Every structure is written in structure tokens, then in C-alpha cells.
Amino acid sequence: MTAVPPRHDAASVPPAARRRVLAALAAGALGTLMPGALTALRMPGTRGPSDDLCVTPARFDTPLHVPGRDGLMGRLAPVDGPVVLRATSRGGTGAGPALAFVADSGPRAYINPLLVVRPGALLRIRLANESAEPTIAHWHGLAMDTANDGNGERLVAPGAAFDYTFTVRNRAGLYWYHPHPHGATASQVSRGLFGLFSVEDEDEDALRAALALVPGETEIPLVLHERKSTAPGRYAPDAGDALLGWYGDETLVNFTARPFLDVTARRYRLRVLNAANARNFRLAFRRDDGATLPFHLLGTDGGLLERPQPCTEVFVSPAERLDVLVDFAGIAPGGFVLLESRGFDPMHAVPAQRADPGDLAGGESHAMRPSAEPMGGATTVPDGTPRQLLQFRVRATGAKGPPLPARLSAPPSVAVAADERPLRLGFAKGRWRINDRVYDVAATPIVVARNAVETWLIRNYHTSMPHAMHLHGFQFRVLERETSPGELAPLVAADQGRLATDLGWKDTVLVWPGESVKIAIDFRHAFAGEQLYLFHCHNLEHEDGGMMLRVKVG
Ligand code: C2O
Ligand code: CU
Ligand code: CU
């Protein structure tokens, strides 16, 4: 066993410098802030993968919340008539979400229910807004017409309701639903208003049968979400948060802080959603002897891969999902395994445009991170900081499982269009932009012809941040990554620079600074007439700040 590493302070930005910058930022709206001034947030030096072992000592003293047949994240099959989701403020600092979708079904009560459906199901869902703020629910990852998409251009006022009627047209996979009121999405998601949406089909049934996986026992959703421990249930971003994203100092798993899970020494299927506003995780499993425990990736945002993909670590950015199979066989009772997020360089930088004389900026870009010091009573741990997320405690020996199925599913392929639609991600005039634009409800910069198949080339500037780019209404395939940062090199798993997580259907893809990511999208849909969708960054502060464009599909 390697020695326990020393405690690592989350950031080393001189507090005085950070305070000075934030005071300057507070003096003006984000829209008018001078990017140059932000360079004072820079960190001296960056952290690399060699700091993997640099972890904050964690104690795991709370049993992981495992979703069951009701209650928080309980499995609800909305088959017998309409489901009513009541957006409700649960207030305060107690356990669970401060703002939640609450539902009843017969005698059972649910908070943020995990909706379980089969492909082809016709759903009727009523959103009843019992909270004090306008909201709307969006079905992230689902093929949907605009009327049911919940894109935020129509809101449900407090006291009002909205009825969704739609057919489930997606293949099996783990999708999710979350609010989408423009400008308030980050606030509502950060307070816990979201749920999972699982589409299950014969491939799913076959996988569960082959590996003896039982939902709620050996198949467990893991929803990663964040809070500031000094201000749980509250969302009060400062100007730095608005620019870089809102990062908590505590990562919750299924709304549990410091979670552990007792397991048998056998296979577990973990279905991960990154529901954090802004944090990227570099997930890996570590045994108690310090060794990495490899695992298999079974699926991505839009369902199962063709075959299990061996991995040692994967990035998961906001809104992405991972379907992971980990095997605790061979770990003796009493041993444990940690799910951790390894350290990485978050590559936070903005162009240091020459601003006022006397500004701290030079002419180049600078890495920067928010600080771990308390700001306004709340704390932040910067992106890229190593975190220990969940401890698996092996309690019982298990039988060695059967071989993995060689084939999990037959994902449909996409024809590739030769023309590329260019999309550039960057920062200018105080805001993150796509093709130099910000969201405008009166403009539709992307127009796609009916039945088109398109190739999109998403390029992120070097002086930028990682952006988790999401398209409503359609799943896509990642064709190629180019000029990726060095820290992705060990994760490349296929040709064209693709990672394991690029090998399945996606609705959200992380694009690193300096990187180009090419995706193929089949825009054929079943709806009458033109439909309107959104393409945006799922760093929710970037989204709310306008890093979002409307997409019209004929
Ligand atoms: Cu999950 Cu418009 O997003
Ligand atoms: Cu979406
Ligand atoms: Cu972004």
C-alpha cells in the first residue's frame, strides 16, 4: 500500500488577489467585465496526472442512498395513467434536494422519481408548479417535438401546470429531466430539481439476465451533484462562478454526502449521471492497496455500446451519463474500493485581452481557478481537484460471474455528410459564445434542412475552458477528436483520437481547449413541420450566460 499522501490544499490562489479581482468584478455585471482582469485568478502552475494520489482525506460515514421502489429517486413506471410531477420547494438544509419534483402513485410517494419506460410508450406527464419560481422541465436526450421539449421559451408560472404528451422514441438508455428556465436553470438544478429517465428494452433485459443484475441491488444509479457545505440548498454565484461555473466543496452521490456502500465481491453495474452545474470528473476506481481497479464501460448517454469497453478511467462532464460495470470479485471481505475523481488540469483560461492600463493582465492567456477560500460564507473546490466520491466496502464473498457478453447491442450507424458545419467556442466581450453569438430568442443561427444528416465540427479556442456541448432532441456519434490536450492521450481508445466514451450514442460531448471534435447527427424526425431545438454548453453558468443557440430543423 502506498503511503497516505499529505493533505493537499485545494487551491493556492493568493486570497488577497482573489478578493481584489472579485471586488472588481462585483463592481460591474459579468456582461461588461474586462477579461484581462480575470487573469489575476490564475494559479501558479498547474496540476497534472502525477498528482493522482494527492487526495483530500475523506471519511465515509453515511450509507449511500440507493433508489428503491419509492421515495427519493424511486423507480416509477408511468404506465397507469398520467403522472403528476409537482415542482416543490422542500426548503432548508435538510437531507435531499431543496427543490424537487414530487410525485405520488397510489400509496407510494416519490421525490425526483426515476421514470422507467419501454420504447414506444405513450406518456402523459403533468408538471404542476408548486414552487415560487417559474420553471419548465426539459427531457434531456430524448427525441422530442418542440412543444414537449421544454426548451425554456415557454415557462410554467407558480401555481400553473403544463401537460406533456409524448411517445418514447429513444433506444434504451439512461436519460434525465431537469428544469430549463433560461437564466435560472443553474439555480434550480443546483438546488436538486432533476430526475432520471430510464428507457429499457430487450437488450437491457438480456444484459441484466446475463450478469444477474438487479436494479436497486447490483445495478445502481449514481448521480453526482454538488453543494457548498456552508450554504446547502442555496445558489448565490459570484462573478467568478458566473464565468467559470459554480463548483461546490462537497460532491454528493444520490444526494448523500460522504457515502459508503456495502457490497458483495461480485459485479455491479453503476449508471452515472453528472448532474453537477460545472464540475468535470475523471472517474476511476482505486483498491485499498492503492492499485487502480479497471472496469468496463457498457454504455454512454444514448444507450449501450456495441461491446463492453475496458477502461481504467473516464471523464464525465456535466449532463453526460456513463454505464459502468465494475467487478469486486477477488477483493476479500473487509477490503474496500474507492470511486474517485483523479486530479487533472482543468484548463481554465480566457483570452487576456489588453484591458485598462494598470490592469494585472499581460498579453497572454493564463490558467486560473476559483479559490477554496470562503467567499461570502460559501466554499469552492476548483475543477480538477482530486476527490474521493464513494467508498465500496466489501462485506461478503461472491461467486465469480459469467463471462461478459461479447455483444451488448447493435447501435444504429449514421451516414456521414461530407460538408462540415463549423461551430467555434470562445469568449469575447465578457461572455462565452458559439460562433461569436449568444442566445437570442429572436434569432435562429442554425437551420437544418428536413431529413438532413450533418457533420458538425466543434472547435474550442486554446484560451478557453472545457465546454460540455449538448444538442436537444437528437443523439449523435463522435467521429473524431483532433489536437486534444495531452492529458487525454492515455484515454484514447479508438481511431481518430476517440475516447471510450466517444464510442456510443451521445447527446453531450466535452470539448477541451484547443480541441476539435467532429460529430455526425441524423436530423430525421417524426414530427410534422419545422421543429426548434437548442445547442448549448451544459456548464449551467455558461448556458444561463447565453452560450446557447437556437437550431431550426425542417
Ligand atoms: Cu440538459 Cu438544454 O439541456
Ligand atoms: Cu437537452
Ligand atoms: Cu461552457
The residues, any chain, with a CB within 8 Å of residue 403's CB and separated by 6 or more, are none
534 pocket-lining for ligand 1 (C-beta < 6 Å): yes
Tell how strand 259-265 and strand 387-397 pair up: parallel
| Continuous H helices in 135-201 | 146-149, 185-190
Which atom of ligand 1 is the closest one to the Cα of 472?
Answer: 2
Q: Dig out the grid coordinates for 33 from the structure.
A: 467585465
DSSP letter assigned to residue 184: T
* CA-derived radius of gyration, the chain: 22
Segment (H or E) for 509: strand 508-511
pTM of the model: 0.89
Q: What are phi and psi of 131, to 5 degrees?
A: -90, 180
Measured in residues, the chain has a length of 554
The full DSSP string for 383-407 is TT--EEEEEEEEEEE-PPPPPPPS-
> According to the model, what pLDDT value does residue 151 have?
98
Atom 3 in ligand 1: which residue has the minimum CA distance?
Answer: 140
Q: Please give the Cα distance from 189 to 303 (Å, whole number).
A: 23
178 pocket-lining for ligand 1 (C-beta < 6 Å): yes
Q: Please give the Cα distance from 397 to 374 (Å, whole number).
A: 44
542 pocket-lining for ligand 1 (C-beta < 6 Å): no
Instruction: Tell me the CA distances in angstroms from 512 to 349, 430, 460, one per residue in order.
Output: 11, 20, 7
459 pocket-lining for ligand 1 (C-beta < 6 Å): no
Atom 1 in ligand 1: which residue has the minimum CA distance?
Answer: 140
Which atom of ligand 1 is the closest one to the Cα of 152?
Answer: 2
The full DSSP string for 25-63 is HHTS-GGG--HHHHGGGB-SS---GGGGG--------EE
550 pocket-lining for ligand 1 (C-beta < 6 Å): no
CA dihedral 442→448→454→459, nearest 10 degrees, is -20
Q: What are phi and psi of 242, to 5 degrees?
A: -60, -30
Task: Calculate the CA 419 to chain-centre distance.
Answer: 30
Q: Are 297 and 314 in contact (CB under 8 A)?
A: yes
137 pocket-lining for ligand 1 (C-beta < 6 Å): no
Ligand that comes closest to the CA of residue 535:
1
Instruction: Tell me the CA distances in angstroms from 368 to 11, 35, 326, 533, one per residue in order.
Output: 10, 12, 35, 33
Nearest to 491 by CA among 303, 284, 335: 284
Residue 243 CA, ligand 2 centroid: distance in Å? 21
Which atom of ligand 1 is the closest one to the Cα of 140?
Answer: 1
Q: Are 315 and 520 in contact (CB under 8 A)?
A: no
Q: Are 230 and 374 in contact (CB under 8 A)?
A: yes
Instruction: Tell me the CA distances in angstroms from 412 to 204, 249, 532, one per residue in order.
Output: 16, 40, 24
- Sheet containing 173-179: order of strands: 75-76, 114-117, 195-199, 173-179, 137-140
Q: Are 507 and 140 in contact (CB under 8 A)?
A: yes
Q: Please give the Cα distance from 477 to 503 (Å, whole number).
A: 8
Per-residue pLDDT for the chain (554 aa), expressed as one digit of tens each? 333 333 333 333 333 333 333 333 333 333 333 333 343 333 333 333 333 444 444 689 999 999 999 999 999 998 767 899 999 999 766 678 999 999 999 899 999 999 999 999 999 999 999 999 999 999 999 999 999 999 999 999 999 999 999 999 999 999 999 999 999 999 999 999 999 999 999 999 999 999 999 999 999 999 999 999 888 889 999 999 999 999 999 999 999 999 999 999 999 999 999 999 999 999 999 999 999 999 999 999 999 999 999 999 999 999 999 999 999 999 999 999 999 999 999 999 876 543 333 333 333 344 444 444 444 456 889 999 999 999 999 999 988 899 999 999 999 888 898 899 999 999 999 999 999 999 999 999 999 999 999 999 999 999 999 999 999 999 999 999 999 999 999 999 999 999 999 999 999 999 999 999 999 999 999 999 999 999 999 999 999 999 999 999 99
Q: Dig out the grid coordinates for 137 from the structure.
A: 422541465
